[in-house]
Chains A and B, each alone.
Chain A
């Protein structure tokens, strides 16, 4: 079974750094891109960007360029999303998704809730 398992919920203070993870299993990790999607409380889905696990090439949405960093560790079949200085407005659920058949998102990870509050 193809699965993406994300790291657990985080509570951070403004200005702190954070890295969350997304581990793939049930398929060859380097065969598919990984995308990240943000969902702010009670809101819709926002595509953040994507990373190619083969060579770590990234494309970021203009809305997120410079605010987050995507990376991978091929040896661990894991993708990461990182912030160097969190803001309260980063409070959201973050999903990773495999870019699969015909470049659509399938499946998705279960989501990681990030709460940033002083």
Chain B
């Protein structure tokens, strides 16, 4: 099983600041990585797929990068609605999928 390690576990930032979230995989997943956002009491929402493609309706302040084992989700300027938990997911070993443990972006 591929293990996804997200860091940091918690990121404390102020609105307007830049957020940089990391996801490392235990084996190469090529570019088969996605990012999801989950707000309290809500279902997750797809943000980024195939490492760097924004899903439909996702604002341009969200961007993804990386390949192989190291991936980054960047939020260029945090809006109040961006404070949430973010999960990465791999599908390189389809149909066996795994999620990372999540990074909580909280208001400083």
Contact = CB atoms under 8 A, between A and B. Distances in A.
Interface residues of A, number: 23
Contacts of A59: 95-96
Main SS class of interface, B: loop
Interface stretch (A8-16, A68-76, A82-90, A108-116): A108-116
A44 B87 contact: yes
Given A104-B46, A110-B43, A44 B99 contact: yes
Interface in B34-71: 34, 36, 38, 43-46, 49-50, 55
Contacts of A103: 91, 94
Contacts of B34: 104-105
With a 10 A CB-CB cut-off, give which of A37, A44, A95, A111 has the most chain B CB atoms: A44
Interface in A21-65: 35, 37, 44-47, 50, 59, 61-62
Interface residues of B, number: 23
6 contacts: A44-B101, A44-B102, A62-B1, A95-B43, A104-B49, A105-B89
Interface of A: 35, 37, 44-47, 50, 59, 61-62, 95, 97, 101-111
Interface of B: 1, 34, 36, 38, 43-46, 49-50, 55, 87, 89, 91, 94-102
